[in-house]
Structure 1
Amino acid sequence: MSKPDLSIDPRIMESAKKEFLAHGFEKASLKAICEDAGVTTGALYKRYTGKEELFCAVVDDTVKALNAFMEMRSSAVVSELSDEALIKAWEMNESMLPWLEYLYRYHDGFVLLIACAAGTRYANFQHDFAESMTVKTHEYFTEAKRRGLTDADISMEEMHILLSAFWTTVCEPFIHGYTWEQMEAHSEIICKLFNWNKVLGFTE
């Protein structure tokens, strides 16, 4: 009795990742993916119903990792945080580089989500991610204002615009193929550009 070829799935996934990165979802070819993986289209369709399901499988680990980050970020009860913790949450110098390191571990999946997903359920991933961050982030700000730590007026809509701008500076280096050394230098620039404490009017 012949044994199933357990190497097929990893080959399809690796070939699909390369094809989606090179051409984006819409222009990617299932035929090219199968040829590069050395499998038949029939073998692919036994595993995936179509190109979008295959794309979603390729980015699944990255999506789960980012969702886990969101859950961790959203789990804090802001009313229980100290004043110091509320203000420190906006400081960039210590937190920016580890966050870039986290994303860099999922480099290819992240690039697929922000630059190659047009035509899939993740087509608006970057916008949707910023939007999902907005509610909890604004909650931090609102709590700080309630305590008199700031008297600035930042609406939910304004917070979304600011976070969208912030995430653009995070995403673009990935799209432009920055090396990790370039990312480290870029991290310092982001920290200088987004002085959240000043923007949000926290007292010194």
Structure 2
Amino acid sequence: MKTKETKEQILKAAMEEFMEKGYKDASMRKIASKVGITATALYRHYANKEEIFDAVVEPAVSAWEGLCQTEEARQVGTARENGVEAMWEDEDQAKIIVKLIYDNFDAHKLLFCKSEGTKYENYLHTIVSKVQEATLAFKDELEAGGMLVNSVDENEMHLLLSAQYTAMLEMVHHDFTYDQALHYCDTISRFFKEGWRKFLGF
């Protein structure tokens, strides 16, 4: 079996093992057995269990890294070109998030539901922190331009963002269909949008 084919089979078997047992209880020996190789042979491809987990969730992590950058640019661009009101009226973000997740649902399931014991177990906090940083930078930009905005308690802002993103990720925890997720995420976005407008003051 070629190295590339072996790695593909290892990742497929690892996905099954992690989905069934989560990272902490997953077994390297079981992964090797599913592939039909020895544990020693498995370690020639991946140094440890966390390295395999990293490879399995990488598509989801990369997708979120990209989203944090592109959505910041898209929303700020909308506000700059058409005004802040146009940004608030935008309804695309919920659809973009749902598509991102459902394009690689299993990787997201592992990332957000099965990653205890890895560097990703608090990955939601990482996402929230990136969103908060971008929002505060945009707030500063508006203030510099002469717009009156609310003074923001950053701890409160973090709690609210965490609540919003935790709510959206319920679609992953409960294995919603794509259509259910679209409806649910849109509802959450509309609910929080009104709160954010009052909280931020713009």
TM over 0.5: yes
Aligned residue in 2 for 1:41: 39
Q: What do you get for the CA RMSD once the two structures are aligned?
A: 2.6
Aligned residue in 1 for 2:17: 19
The residue type paired with residue 150 of structure 2 is A
Displacement of 1:96: 1.2
Using the size of structure 2 for normalisation, the TM-score is 0.85
Of Structure 1 and Structure 2, the greater helix share is in: 2
Aligned residue in 1 for 2:201: 201
Whether contact under 8 Å (1:115, 1:175) holds in the other structure is yes
The residue type paired with residue 22 of structure 1 is E
Query: For the residues of structure 2 that align with 1:22 and 1:102, how far apart are their CA atoms?
Result: 23
Whether contact under 8 Å (1:130, 1:164) holds in the other structure is yes
The residue type paired with residue 103 of structure 1 is I
Which stretches in structure 2 are left out of the alignment for 5+ residues?
none
The residue type paired with residue 157 of structure 2 is M
Which stretches in structure 1 are left out of the alignment for 5+ residues?
none
Using the size of structure 1 for normalisation, the TM-score is 0.85
Query: For the residues of structure 2 that align with 1:36 and 1:127, how far apart are their CA atoms?
Result: 34
Deviates more, 1:178-187 or 1:82-91: 82-91
Change (3 A) 1:95 1:73: closer
Q: Percent identity?
A: 29
| 2:99 equivalent among 98, 101, 122 | 101
Aligned residue in 2 for 1:192: 190
The residue type paired with residue 115 of structure 1 is C
Change (3 A) 1:194 1:92: farther
Change (3 A) 1:72 1:97: closer
Aligned length: 200
Displacement of 1:197: 2.7
